[in-house]
Amino acid sequence: MEMREIHWLMDMVTHIDLGLVVFDRQGKIAVWNHFMENHSGLSSTEMREQCLFDVYPELKKDWFQRELDTVLLLENEVFITWEQVPHLMGFAAYRPITAKSHYMYQNVVLRAIRSASGETDLVSMTLYDVTDIASNKLALESANKELAILSRTDRLTGLFNRGYWQEQLESSWALHKRYNRLYSLVIFDIDHFKKVNDTYGHQAGDEVIKLVAELVQDCARDSDCVGRYGGEEFTVILPHTDAEGGRVFAERLRKIIEAQEVVHEEHTIKFTISLGVAEISPHFGSETGWLEAADQALYQCKHGGRNQTCIAPTPEPPK
């Protein structure tokens, strides 16, 4: 190769818009191109003969050393994607004003280089700036997660909506059938809620619903599944809970709500709830039968004076 060709080849390598570092087994740097100068703030003159691992001690980590050992032993290439290590070298984003990330996301390729003697004692590390790709993918994933949350969330209360809660009810029933998991189901509504809407307006009714949702969420455990079933009606699936445990939960919630009030446009609104509880049993036949049993217990509360908890009777096995 003529000297002129070597010159333009070296000029191209030096100024190509990706990072290029060449170093030996001990980390002594032989090449530190223009891209690396720009993003590190360190010139090639400063870096030549320096130990890469001293300048960037994060590269001393065991996983990176294992990758280097593999490259040198097998004389192959190793790819390190931004999903594995988002910022191998802590460079600032190339476009700080418009970039969606403060740091540059990088894909990295490690490749063994043979010397003129035929020995593999050098490694080239190529860094690709993939900040735009990574940022767009992360933004899309974030948007999809947000959409997934919105698709299962009731907008007024922030509880699970009826569709998602119904899916959890079906899942709980399936787990009970397969593994005999214990659950109790609580369904409750706000007593005389129509009167609240008619007397104080729907905005006041919404405030009452939101307070009830907040209080039931506070009473529930992380493992409990709380949903707004519709209107002023709410449902809770209680894992690992028998009928008595469901009654204790329901009574605690009932007393807390009974002590609350909502102030709306100088009106003080007091309200209560009625609750039905049903412990799961295969004799209900289906998740629908289980739900209907809890609903019948709630219906019993309504006819018994409201502001109370009723437990559904254990169904008899089919004859």
- Whether 275 is covered by a domain: the verdict is yes
Last residue of a domain, one of 81, 112, 138: 138
Residues 91, 186, single domain; the answer is: no
Q: Is residue 189 domain-shared with residue 288, that is, in the same domain?
A: yes
Domain end position, chosen among 78, 103, 138: 138
Q: Supply the pTM of this predicted model.
A: 0.67
Both tokens assigned to 219: 């009473």
Percentage of residues in the chain with pLDDT exceeding 70?
92
- CATH number for the domain including 215? 3.30.70.270
82-103 pLDDT, tens per residue?
A: 999 888 888 888 665 445 678 8
pLDDT value at position 15?
59
* Residue 20 pLDDT grade (very low, low, confident, very high; cuts 50, 70, 90): very high
CATH number of the domain enclosing 74 = 3.30.450.20
* Same domain for 213 and 90: no
Averaged pLDDT, 240-247 = 96
The confidence score (pLDDT) of residue 14 equals 59
Pair 118, 207 in one domain = no
144: in domain: no
Count of domains for the chain: 2
Asked whether 201 and 132 are in contact (CB, 8 A), the reply is no
Q: Are 235 and 169 in the same domain?
A: yes
293 CB neighbour count, 10 Å cutoff? 25
Dist. CA 126–CA 19, nearest whole Å:
5
Kindly give, in sequence order, each residue whose CB lies less than 8 Å from that of residue 230, ignoring residues fewer than 6 positions away: 162
pLDDT tens digits for 161-199?
Answer: 999 999 999 999 999 999 999 999 999 999 999 999 999
Give residue for tokens 């040198």: 72
Domain membership flag for residue 316: no
Contact yes or no for 75/113 (Cβ under 8 A): no
Crossing angle of helices 202-219 and 243-258, rounded to 10°: 140
Beta bridge partners of 272: none
User: What is the pLDDT of the chain when averaged over all its residues?
Assistant: 89
170 and 214 housed in the same domain: yes
Q: pLDDT confidence of 213, banded at 50, 70, 90?
A: very high
Please list the residues that pair with 151 across neighbouring strands.
none
Q: Nearest-CA neighbor of 294 among 269, 318, 313?
A: 313
Q: What is the pLDDT, as a whole number, of residue 26?
A: 86
DSSP-assigned letter for residue 92: B
Residue 229 in this model has a pLDDT that exceeds 90? yes
113 in Cβ contact with 22 (< 8 Å): yes
Asked if 222 and 158 count as a contact pair (C-beta separation under 8 A), the reply is: no
What is the residue range of 253's domain? 152-311
